Chains A and B, each alone.
Chain A
Amino acid sequence: MNHHFDLSAKVGGLQLQGKAEFGNEIIVVSGENGAGKTSLLRCLAGLQTAQGSMMFKQEVWLDSSANYVLLSRFRGVGCVWTDPALLPWLRVEENIKVAATQVDELWCKPWFEAFEIQALMQRKPHMLSTGEAQRVALVRAICSKPKLLLLDEPFSAQAPAIRQRLRLALQDVQRKLDIPVIMISHDAEDAGYLAQQHWHMRQGRLLSEKTNVSRNKVVSV
């Protein structure tokens, strides 16, 4: 296991508590609304203040005992939240470009196709459906080659027909970058096809359980 954290945080009225070890794998997080899933991901991204410790590979991201926090900006995480946060005055293409400190076209291009946004490149965000905007936000995060991908229900607005193709593409991203992907999902199929580790949250507490799903279970459709 390459990475671990032991965190606590107070978010609104919720006391968040979580401890886990994970490797470069896909982790699916489930739990009821308000259980703290998004807050946990925000802690990992460094957008939410937390206490405790967090190590990513050999890098310290958080060590409260030494009063040390690595700022989000230097963590290299790719995030997709339920709000896609696309800049309304920029076309899809520019939105992706602007959000990357450097763009490796060779790396980015194939994902435009894999996540089915190549036809949307010239559109402004107000011309996108929720599902399309979600996919653009996902590709934007992938393009900057993140060290960790945090996804908050990334497929929630996708039509069932496209979901399986997106799952395959996401798996491909995870393999090629060899990074952990932590993904919140209420969809049992996401968990079934993708999860190599499964986290469950209840009332702010993280309960981790290993699943024995091999990554080969996803088959092309």
Chain B
Amino acid sequence: MFEALFISLELAIVTTAILLVLAFPLAYVLSFKTFKGRTILEVIVALPLVLPPTVLGYFVLVMIAPDTSLGRAWQAVFDSSLAFSFSGMVMASVLYSLPFAVQPMQQSLRAIPSSWLEMANTQGLDLWQTLKHIILPAAKGGVLVAAALSFAHTMGEFGVVLMVGGSIPGETKVASIALFEFVEMQQQSDAWLLALILLAVSFVMLSLVYTLNRHGPMLGVNK
């Protein structure tokens, strides 16, 4: 059981880390730029919210199968299969939790008053200085909420990881799948314990999110 929990934890941490790096530029572009295909991009980012996880998992699995170009490239570089592996699960989890990372960031970026950005502009600050001194500090709350939600969401994944990871003990069997198997095998006390632990994790994460949100989308901006 603790092995499965550990894998879930590892998956959630790696996924959250990747998402923070990947989602911020996406949220930035969606918040501040107007371009062709913007709506399409927004739809794609939001898609995992409504798509059945098994559908998403299926497409990822088809994409990373050993006979696809991505699967072959991975095999050539890392000498291992991407399908039914931890890395494959990470890839699917990143896609699955993308909206949970992008949307809070986007919300906090949009809340930045345009007068601050215009000030940076006329004062001659470049993009990097503006990011460092204005945008990142102002969007800090959104970034933290994004991290907490991505983490909690990944901890609770079931359909996607089952499809892509295949529940290999010690490798891709995560906590939520282990719980399912405990129930199937009528190991009630193990099921109880694991379910309670997962409940606690979600509870703590959501408490964190609501505490952060109470300070408004712009944490640290004490008005």
**Do the two shown chains form a genuine complex with each other?**
yes
Bound state CA distance, A106 and B110, in angstroms? 38
Partner pick for A79 among B122, B125, B222, CB 8 A cutoff? B122
Question: Contact residues of B with A, CB < 8 Å?
Answer: 113, 115-116, 118-126, 129, 133-134, 137-138, 220-223
Q: Are B121 and A83 in contact (CB under 8 A)?
A: no
Known pairs A46-B121, A72-B118 / 18 extra A-B pairs, C-beta < 8 Å:
A47-B122, A72-B121, A74-B124, A75-B122, A78-B122, A79-B119, A81-B118, A85-B113, A85-B116, A87-B137, A88-B221, A88-B222, A88-B223, A99-B120, A99-B125, A101-B123, A126-B222, A141-B123
How distant is A4 from chain B, measured CB to nearest CB, in Å?
A: 21
Can you give 29 contacting A-B residue pairs, CB < 8 Å? A45-B122, A46-B122, A47-B121, A71-B121, A72-B118, A72-B122, A73-B121, A74-B124, A75-B122, A76-B124, A78-B123, A81-B115, A81-B118, A85-B113, A85-B116, A87-B133, A87-B137, A88-B221, A89-B137, A89-B220, A89-B221, A89-B222, A99-B119, A99-B120, A99-B123, A101-B129, A126-B223, A140-B123, A144-B123
Query: Residues of A contacting B115 with CB < 8 Å?
Result: 81, 83, 85
Classify the secondary structure of B's interface with A.
helix
Bound state CA distance, A78 and B138, in angstroms? 23
Question: Contact residues of A with B, CB < 8 Å?
Answer: 45-47, 71-79, 81, 83, 85, 87-89, 98-101, 124, 126, 140-141, 144
Query: Residues of B contacting A141 with CB < 8 Å?
Result: 123
Bound state CA distance, A71 and B120, in angstroms? 12
Query: Residues of B contacting A73 with CB < 8 Å?
Result: 121-122, 124-126
Query: Residues of B contacting A83 with CB < 8 Å?
Result: 113, 115
Q: Are A47 and B118 in contact (CB under 8 A)?
A: yes
In the A-B complex, the 4 residue pairs with the smallest Cβ-Cβ separation, listed nearest first, are A85-B115, A85-B119, A99-B123, A83-B115
How distant is B112 from chain A, measured CB to nearest CB, in Å?
A: 10
